[in-house]
Structures are given as structure tokens and as C-alpha cells.
Amino acid sequence: MFRRPDFRNDNERQGRTVVTWFMDSSALVKRYVREQGSKWLRAEITHHSVIIAQITAVEVVAALRKRFRQGDISEFAFYQARKRFITHVARQQYQVVTMNSQIVDEAMRIASDQDLRAYDAVQLATALAIIPPSNTSRLVFLTADDDLEVASQAEGLKTENPLNH
């Protein structure tokens, strides 16, 4: 009998070192669509607490729709993936960071200093806003976007790219 994989986080398991993942949409979409890096991400996500920016929800749904429009996934797969994502957000499997003026100001600084798209600057600003500058050791920024990965490293964050797995 086929069993659907369990995507719950198991951070409370005894002996597990909890590392917080801040995920942008390019990484998170791999949980819902099979592509390079998906297998690794799906196996690893249950071992971490996951934080996303508020705008990630819009970006993930748009990315799923784009994959359907381009013929990468069927209409059924699009609706199924979208429903699973919305359910995961509603069940608070992700801690969602609400956009605020501090994040907008930091995103403007990043956009001035780095060669990033606007939403990528917001993603990075959100990650920086949730951690004290002196304690980045327990946060890993997950992105499948090379430019955002480089910019995150330049801002002092540890990064992981699902495409490397």
C-alpha cells in the first residue's frame, strides 16, 4: 500500500539539533513540484523549523502557475500542489514573517547595494530582520537562486542551495 510522505516537522525529537531554515520561494517550491533538488529538500525539511516571508506565499503560487502554463506540470498537479501549500501555511508548518517598514527599509538598502530583483531584496531583508546580527549560526538561508545566494552570503548569512543536492 502506498503511503504519502509525512511532511510534519520533527524538531522536538530528542537529540536533534534544530537549525532554522529561512526559505525563499525558489527553494520552497521544490517541496511541491518535482525538479532538481526536490528529493533532498523533501527529505530534509522535516528536520528543521522553517520561516518564510509573507510574500513567499504569492511567489510560490505564481511559480506553480508558471510551471503549469509552461507545461511542466498538469492542471491537476497545479491545483494539488497549490492546495497542499495553502494547507501547510494554514496549519502553520511555516512561521510567516509579516512585512513591515523595517523590512521595506532594509530591502531598499539591499536593492541599492546588491544586484537583486525587488522581491529577492525583500526575502533577504526579511531573513536579516529576524535574527540578531551577532547570532546567524542557527539560521540557514535556503535559495535556488544563485544571485540571492551570493547576496545572502555577502550579508553574513549561511546559505544552502537545493540545486547542489
- The three grid cell numbers given for residue 78, joined into one nine-digit string: 497545479
What is the full DSSP assignment across 55-97?
Answer: THHHHHHHHHHHHHHTTSS-HHHHHHHHHHHHHHHHTTSSEEE
Contact 128, 121 (CB under 8 A): no
Q: Residue 150: pLDDT band by 50, 70, 90 thresholds?
A: very high
The answer to whether position 6 is within a domain reads no
Give the pLDDT confidence score for residue 38 in this predicted structure: 97
The answer to whether position 132 is within a domain reads yes
Three-state DSSP at 104 gives helix
Contact 38, 26 (CB under 8 A): no
- The three grid cell numbers given for residue 8, joined into one nine-digit string: 510534519
The answer to whether position 151 is within a domain reads yes
Three-state DSSP at 16 gives coil
The answer to whether position 3 is within a domain reads no
Residue 2 has pLDDT above 80, yes or no: no
The answer to whether position 8 is within a domain reads no
**Could you report the per-residue pLDDT of 80-122, keeping only the tens digit for each?**
999 999 999 999 999 999 999 999 999 999 999 999 999 999 9
The answer to whether position 2 is within a domain reads no
The answer to whether position 12 is within a domain reads no
- The three grid cell numbers given for residue 50, joined into one nine-digit string: 522553517
What is the pTM (predicted TM-score) of this model? Answer: 0.87
Give the pLDDT confidence score for residue 138 in this predicted structure: 80
Dist. CA 119–CA 124, nearest whole Å: 9
For the chain, the domain total comes to: 1
Dist. CA 121–CA 139, nearest whole Å: 18
**Could you report the per-residue pLDDT of 21-79, keeping only the tens digit for each?**
999 999 999 999 999 999 999 999 999 999 999 999 999 999 999 999 999 999 999 99
The answer to whether position 87 is within a domain reads yes
Domain coverage including residue 36: 20-164
CATH number of the domain bearing residue 68: 3.40.50.1010
Give the pLDDT confidence score for residue 19 in this predicted structure: 86
